Structure 1
Amino acid sequence: MLKPISTPTRELVNLDGVWRFGIDTRLGETPWTARLDTPLEAAVPASYNDLFTDPEIRDHVGWVYYQREVRVPRGWSDERIFVRFDAATHAARVYVDDALVGEHVGGYTPFDVELTDRVAAGGSFRLTVAVSGDLTNETIPPGKIEVGMDGRQKQTYFHDFYNYAGLARSVWLHSIPRISIDDVTVTTDFEGSVGSVDLRVETSDAVDVRVRIADAGGEVVAEASGASSTLSIADVVLWKPGAAYLYDLTIEAVDGDRVLDSYTLPVGVRTVEVRGHEFLINGEPFYFTGFGKHEDSAVRGKGHDDAYMVHDFQLMEWIGANSFRTSHYPYAEDVLEFADRHGIVVIDETAAVGLNMGVVGGMSGKPPFPTFSEQFANDNTRAAHAQHLRELIGRDKNHPSVVMWCIANEPASNEDGAREYFEPLVDLARELDPTRPLTYALVMFATFQNDRIIDLFDVVSLNRYYGWYVATADLPTAERYLQGDIAGWIERTGKPVMMTEYGADTQPGIHSVWDQAWTEEYQRDYLAMNHRVFDRFPQFVGEQVWNFADFATSNGIHRVDGNKKGVFTRDRKPKSAAWALRERWRGLDGRKPGADG
């Protein structure tokens, strides 16, 4: 699915703003058939949960309704017309006037609904969107809904971040020509100073296709014809971590000299490969430094915010980070485009977080029932997971910043049924994109001795909390545990090993001369211990701290105002650990720190 953009043949109208808003229990049975009977209005894009002071809205289980009037531009009479949602968390139903026109399940990937036969150029219509934040064992991510003693429904979920819901990303009305370019797949390579760009273009009708590539100065450097073609770029400038270079690729569907449709997207020429213990970008070993992050800010929740995006990237540059993981869901496409332009490397993750009943069992790791069973992750769950993979890879396959797919966070890969669940998903991901490595983030219960699926993947990505959840405030013991853990994975797999999560909750302003949990000094010393261990292994390829910034979580006695493992506060103020990371990371420039044996 191509992102709506303005081109010589395409137009779009942004529908962000303040929409009428209500929850299903306070509206009629068919609220979309009239103007919503509500005094409330909600901002788009934003999660709705923190906008209002009413707890019934914040904790609502069921459907909420957004509504606004939309006018179609007069010049679109000969065009196909769509409404696009960059995300609706976690499911949506779309109504035009009184009619249901489309539905979508999956809270972090975009979808289009065609309106061509229902609206008229120059006319207006009532757009109503029902959104559900409900999670079950057959959704990605999973959860369950229970009825409390007061008779009200309550949402339970198995991930440690707040289940924000609503229209958290932009909404667009856009047009495309009747004969259109429907999809483009780009793969790149280079040999010496010559770059190659392989294209596969899909069109709505059998028409001629021509393509051209222009450099950053606008000069055309390659041209070709055909829906499948390879363009060569002499004296190619590669896209590199920390040194992004993008070409403009323009695709045109033509009838003789007449351009029927035109679409331009940025292209970065680069290669990604796993070879032995190394992770290679452009044939050179790359060492990840950075974070697991969240789309999270006060009031807005998971609502995309350009100001926060720019500031977060500035903080990553300040601290010396070269990468991040989109934990634990696909981020807004604007974020990936920004990473493309600024040379930040991305591990792109699905929303498959919480596929682990062992976590529900607490630190014992003993699940109340098997994760991979009819009770929890069953065939329908896997089908939802597969669809999420299709939509994620379909959306993000052309971003040079994306170097690896992470298909799940902390699944029960140590349990019976894990291989039967994941092997078809791995096969699907490799079919959809054979060019990028695959990984999954390993929970602490999944060890090098009991994990069932690591051989299916390319990179070992560890989430480990020795010194926090295990050997709390005992760094010497934690160091021994971590040393043995990494050594075991290296010996078992022969694959690159990296840390995708390690961190300690830290309350700003708490200090101690001892190794005391929650202090700023302990977070700094905890990270230093991990780094000592990492540097002993030349097979180790990266460190992504959990987390970039503090974030909102569900209610819990171990969470005081959210998860505090951020090296920045939720409003992006640095803790002491930020300065220590800056000292370590700046100047590494993607190179592995020297091993000390």
Structure 2
Amino acid sequence: MKILSGIKSRAVMTALSLALAVTSGAAQGAPVDGDRTPGVRVKAQSAARERFNIDRDWRFAFGHPYDASQDFSHGTRGFFFAKAGYGDGPADLKFNDTAWRRLNLPHDWAVELPFSSRASANHGSKALGATFPENSVGWYRRALPISAQDKGRRIAVEFDGVFRDSVVWVNGHYIGNERSGYSSFQYDITDYLNYGGENVIAVRVDATMEEGWWYEGAGIYRHVWLTKTDPLHVAPWGTFVRTEVADGSAEISIDVEISNDGKGVEGFTIEHLIVDADGTSVARFETSPQTLNGASSSRVAAQFKMDRVRLWSLEDPYLYKAITQVKRKGEVVDSYDTVFGIRTLRFDANDGFFLNGKSIKLHGTNNHQDHAGVGVALPDALHEYRFKRLKEIGVNAYRASHHPPTKELLEAADRLGILVIDEHRMMGTTPQIRNELERMVRRDRNHPSVILWSVGNEEWAIENTEVGTRLTQEMQAIVRRMDPTRLTTVAASGSGGTQGTAAGSEVIGFNYKAQHDIDAMHKRYPDRPMLVTEEGLTFATRGVYVDDPERVHIAAYDKRSGGARTASIEEGWRFNAARPFLSGMFVWTGFDYRGETTPFGWPAVSSQFGMLDTTGVIKDSGYYLKSVWTHEPMVHLLPHWNWSGREGEDIDVRAYANTDEVELFLNKKSLGRKAMTVGGHLQWSVPYQSGKLVAKGFRNGKLVATQTVETTGPGVSVQLAADRTRIKADGSDISVITVSVADKQGRVVPTSDSLVQFETTGPIQIIGMGNGDPGSHEPDKPTERHHFLTVKNWRVKGGEAKEALLAHLADDDASTWRRPFQWVPEDQRPPESPYYLVRAEFARPKLTDDDTVELFVADVTRDQVVYVNGEAVAPVQLDGLLVIKLDPAKIKDTNSLNYLIRSPAGGFGLLAQSAQEGGRWASLRVTTPAPIWARRVFNGYAQIIVQSTGGAGPATVVAKAQGQAAATLKFTVQ
């Protein structure tokens, strides 16, 4: 049976289910005459919708999962959760975050943490999780001005992804909680805003609990947006564009969910304008008038034809845009853009996968979302960089393992022509899990790159059970109602029974051929499409050719990682290539990633499964895939040829090539020409002598490719090479820089481990570094670290005169003084005094030699005098707080902080009520400065990533290593 993508009937079309409960109304209308004129450019039309990126200028500090004293006293205020607007600690609108670190999003605080043997190896051994509560909660705050003119609009804050368990507060009001670290979510905050003034968003993120078994990061690691709309608007992710292709034209179906968040009935029409990649109008359709009650939603469907369409394909990933305009009395009140591609998909049970009717074998890789140096907080341009590296080895497909990817990754896949399996994080049908699944499908269903939904991965507890069948089929039904144009799979680690996730899947996904009898499954389910969703699972350290367990390095010769239940990359591909019914193979993995350090535990901190290392340098197995997945003539030799001390010993030399034959030469002497087996490799045993090893590839007897590997001298210079030297001055664009060490002849030294230091000038900054060494514990992202300590044991003493109170500065024990925050019945309260001496204590913090210590003190009253250990100090004003820099040599085991204040208006009791147990009055900050930016090259290579800071102009990166010539790389930021 051939399973086709696309809408096959009106019945299927009307079966579309949206994530929200909506009423449905089909639109009647027709294409607007005269709007397909070639060459007519479409200009952006003014509309009520505004969408802003609000990544910049956040404040960040570490909290604590269960100790309120280390969590800025959050959760301790009376009624803090019981009453609207009673958020306390950082959730309080009036909390002063001046002492916090300022940063821009996306941000992953886990990548900034040190490595530890006590940490979870699966998560990259970063000092995070239950063992490290002091590092496992982070607070983010941002001021947000909202214009008075925005009153009457609907305003929402959108988070593309927060890891993990985030709670959002706005102006002290609890807004909501998102448990998943991978789902995009948003909140309508209209009713909580201060129009014409400042507003504060506070986000508490708790990354204590792991959601997966790989490095997951921590923090607001994807973008944040603010959207403003008319009450009558397109709902979030509210459009769905589907296409049917025939004879060079396409039938376009667009479903739009319209929300009316106003109180009354609204009349409106919808106009769809289709523009091509040049911005030229190619089609327009306007619906008949519609009406919608207040506080309700409706689905409006439209269908029209486009002639002379250009299909989206791997070679030509052509994109159109649908501009959907909502009009009320002819005025545009909302405009919503949907980028889409026109193409057909088909998974065939016997012949595999087809795109636009063309048979395509899926050359896929599985990937997690982290990259060396930046963790999971990838700048947008880094997704494109990673895809381009994968495309170099012939990759045409990407499985987002094992969670929904960021939307910028899908946008890059759309632009570059990469096919994507979009995967849900967890199997289930409970309201929470179902809602997460629906959000994924709604968000991603317009991307032409997405060819298949995956609703689960290796669900061992249910993989061969009736429950597994049921959950698979129920989740597929949910997806099918929302998107009838794509099929669904579950990646199974074991199959063969009549029940389970494989038995229930529309497309059967096999993880590792050696764990299944795939041929038997094809016979059992002859009508089911199939593909290998994971294959390989091999270990290899880039540039290493002798096992070295002490350094957690594994020789990079492609071999099985275990026994008969595993396969080499070569075995996996040859099996797949020989079976046309298999749609393709997804290698585990494309890139190495932090965590899952099999076969080692500590001191390994990253996996070694990748075809590329954590920085994107291609490993030898990646070159094998290039030899079988690409046609441009190539030959690749391994290993390197620096084996001093092993003269005369046999070295295992291998060649990967897509030529008919390869001839190997050592110092111009032929070691024989061999015929290449299809899908295989060639191998020689070569007694080592220094010099030059050359492989020559031949097709039809003609030399078409050559690679040379030669013995190098010692490193004498640092080299820098950027993927681009012109970047945008937008504060987010990046350049990826390869760092290497070369000998006198400019050849990269493949065994170098030089320590290289980096400096920048101009409007750029380094945001991360890496070198691909799975055992390196060097910092990825040297970062200044703030640690906040509680100032506690608050006491107060009233007096008639300043001098009398000052005599008590020397009191060793203030326990008999009044507790300022203790409630006292009105008839027992002491009379107001003209003056008060307020005291608190703080302990000596643990300090390193470079640490600085500062007291951040509230300006409690205008004429207060501050004393530390009985001595008057002169604080410095900073954004509403007073800052006192302390001399570490003068800090005692127990220290006193005193304020001498005049009785404030309303009395001291009113002042104490707003102090939140003293949390607003003072805090102690210990700052550990960031280490210098330095990284060792690993087997000759390292990587740094630089990002623009927002300004324009020339910039440079300088790299220095002891005893070697420095390198300078110039950039233009424009």
1:193 aligned residue (237, 243, 248):
248
Distance 2:362 2:598 in 1: 32
CA 498–595 in structure 1, closer or farther in 2 if over 3 Å, else same: farther
**Match of residue 405, structure 1, among 448, 453, 456:** 453
Paired residues, number: 522
CA–CA separation in structure 2 for the residues paired with 1:52 and 1:519: 29
Alignment partner for residue 301 of structure 1, among 361, 375, 387? Answer: 375
Q: 1:569 aligns with which of 605, 610, 613?
A: 613
Residue 63 (structure 1) shift? 4.4
Counterpart of 2:590, as a letter, is F
> How far apart, CA to CA, are the structure 2 residues paired with 1:429 and 1:207?
30
SS at 1:207 equivalent: strand
Is 1:384 aligned to residue 428 of structure 2? no
Asked whether 1:23 is paired with 2:53, we answer: no
Task: Work out the CA distance in 1 between the residues paired with 2:596 and 2:530.
Answer: 31
How many Å apart are 1:460 and its aligned residue? 1.9
- Give the distance between the partners of 1:595 and 1:35, measured in 2 at CA: 64
State the match for 1:539 in structure 2. Answer: 581
Compute the TM-score of the two structures, normalised by the length of structure 1: 0.80
Give 3-state SS (helix, strand or coil) of 1:47's partner.
Answer: coil
CA contact (8 A) 1:14 1:171 kept: yes
Select the residue among 210, 217, 224 that pairs with 2:271: 210
State the partner residue of 2:771: none
Using the alignment, how far apart are the partners of 1:160 and 1:22 within structure 2? 24
Question: Residue 228 of structure 2 aligns with which residue?
Answer: 175
Structure 2 Cα separation of the partners of residues 459 and 512 of structure 1: 41
Give the deviation of 1:434 after TM superposition: 1.5
Q: What pairs with 1:116-127 in structure 2 (closer than 5 Å)?
A: 116-127=190-201
Q: Pick the aligned partner of 2:360 from 248, 262, 286.
A: 286
| Higher Cα radius of gyration | 2
More helix by share: 1
1:95 aligns with 2:164: no
**Alpha-carbon RMSD:** 3.0
Q: Which amino acid aligns with 1:210?
A: E
Cα distance between partner residues in 2 of 1:35 and 1:433: 47
Q: For residue 161 of structure 1, what is the amino acid of its counterpart?
A: W
Determine if contact 2:128/2:208 at 8 Å carries over to the other structure: no
Task: Work out the CA distance in 2 between the residues paired with 1:304 and 1:175.
Answer: 26
Matched-pair contact (CA < 8 Å) for 1:23–1:57: no
Q: Which residue of 2 aligns with 1:490?
A: 522
Q: Secondary structure at the match of 2:138?
A: strand
Match of 1:65, SS state, is strand
Q: For the residues of structure 1 that align with 2:282 and 2:555, how far apart are their CA atoms?
A: 56
Question: Which sections of structure 1, spanning at least 5 residues, go unmatched?
Answer: 136-154, 356-378, 467-480
Q: Alignment partner of 1:403: what SS?
A: strand
Distance 1:57 1:9, change over 3 A: farther
Of the candidates 9, 24, 29, which is equivalent to residue 48 of structure 2? 9
Summarize deviations over 1:557-592 as a string: whole Å, max 9, x none. 73422211011111111111111111211149xxxx
- Residue range with higher mean Cα deviation, 167-176 or 417-426: 417-426
**Could you tell me how far apart the structure 2 residues matched to 1:399 and 1:115 are?**
28
* Pair 1:46 & 2:107 matched: yes
Paired residues of 1:95 and 1:102 also in contact (CA < 8 A): yes
CA distance in 2, matches of 1:67, 1:6: 34
What is the letter of the counterpart of residue 11 of structure 1?
A: E
Provide the C-alpha distance between the structure 2 equivalents of 1:53 and 1:203, rounded to a whole number of angstroms. 48
Question: Is 1:225 aligned to residue 286 of structure 2?
Answer: yes
Query: After the TM superposition, which of the residue ranges 544-553 and 219-228 deviates more from structure 2?
Result: 219-228
Q: SS of the counterpart of 2:558?
A: helix
- Aligned equivalents of 2:189, 2:574: Cα separation in 1: 58
Q: Aligned to 1:430, what secondary structure does the other structure show? A: helix
- CA drift at 1:77: 4.0
Q: Given the alignment of the two structures, is residue 522 of structure 1 paired with residue 558 of structure 2, yes or no? A: yes
**Partner in structure 2 of residue 427 of structure 1:** 477
Question: 2:628 aligns to what?
Answer: 584
- Structure 1's 67 and 424: CA in aligned 2 closer, same or farther, altered over 3 A? same
Deviation at 1:75, TM superposition (A): 5.3
Aligned partner of 2:881 in structure 1 is none
C-alpha separation in 2, matches of 1:447 and 1:204: 44
Q: TM-score, normalised by structure 2?
A: 0.50
Identify if the C-alpha distance between structure 1 residues 385 and 269 changes in structure 2 by more than 3 Å, giving closer, same or farther.
same
Q: Shift of the alpha carbon at 1:451?
A: 5.2
Instruction: Show the 5 A alignment for 1:312-461.
Output: 312-352=386-426, 382-412=430-460, 413-415=463-465, 417-443=467-493, 446-449=494-497, 452-461=500-509
Pair 1:541–1:488, CA change in 2 (3 A): same
Which secondary structure does the structure 2 equivalent of 1:44 belong to? coil
The separation in 2 between residues aligned to 1:128 and 1:463, in whole angstroms, is 42
Contact kept? 2:490, 2:501, Cα under 8 Å? no
Deviations 1:433-477 (A, max 9, x none): 12101111111xx1224652334322222111x7xxxxxxxxxxx
Partners of 1:130 and 1:218 in 2: CA distance: 42
Listed one character per residue, the Cα deviations across residues 402-434 of structure 1 (whole Å, up to 9, x for unaligned) are 111000111121245322333322221222212
TM-superposed CA distance for 1:276, in Å, is 2.8
Moved more, 94-103 or 38-47: 38-47
Post-superposition offset of 1:310 = 2.0
2:150 aligned residue? 76
Kindly state the Cα deviation for residue 10 of structure 1 after the two structures are TM-superposed: 2.2
- 1: distance between equivalents of 2:546 and 2:378? 37
How far apart in 2 are the matches of 1:595 and 1:36? 60
Instruction: Name which structure has the greater RCO, CA cutoff 8 Å, separation 6+.
Output: 1
Tell me the distance in 1 between the aligned counterparts of 2:201 and 2:523.
Answer: 58
| AA in 1 matched with 2:224 | V
Separation in structure 2 between the aligned mates of residue 570 and residue 348 of structure 1, nearest angstrom: 22
Instruction: Give the aligned residue type for 1:569.
Output: D
Per the TM alignment, residue 386 of structure 1 is displaced from its structure 2 partner at its CA by 1.7
Task: Give the stretch that moved more between structures: 257-266 or 39-48.
Answer: 39-48
Match of 1:164 in 2: 217
Q: Distance in 2 between matches of 1:298 and 1:20?
A: 22
Change over 3 Å in CA distance of 1:160–1:107 after alignment to 2:
closer
Structure 2 contact 470–504 (Cα < 8 Å) conserved: no
Partners of 2:164 and 2:205 within 8 A in 1: yes
CA distance in 2, matches of 1:410, 1:43: 36
Flag the 1:66–1:554 CA change in 2: closer, same or farther, 3 A.
farther
* 8 Å contact from structure 1 (residues 47, 301) kept in 2: yes
Cα distance in structure 2, aligned partners of 1:492 and 1:293: 31
Higher strand proportion: 2
Out of 231, 234, 237, the residue aligned to residue 310 of structure 2 is 237
Determine the structure 1 residue equivalent to 2:332.
Answer: 259
Are the structure 2 counterparts of residues 594 and 203 from structure 1 closer, same or farther at C-alpha, using a change threshold of 3 Å?
farther
Displacement, 1:311? 1.1
8 Å contact 1:250–1:265 — kept in the other structure? yes
Percent identity (aligned): 24
Please say if residues 598 and 607 of structure 2, whose CA atoms lie closer than 8 Å, have aligned partners that are also in contact: no
User: 1:242: Cα distance to partner?
Assistant: 3.0
Partner residue of 1:246 out of 316, 319, 326? 319
Contact residue 60 and residue 138 of structure 2 kept, 8 A? no
Deviation at residue 69 of structure 1 after TM alignment: 1.7
Q: Which residue of 2 aligns with 1:507?
A: 541
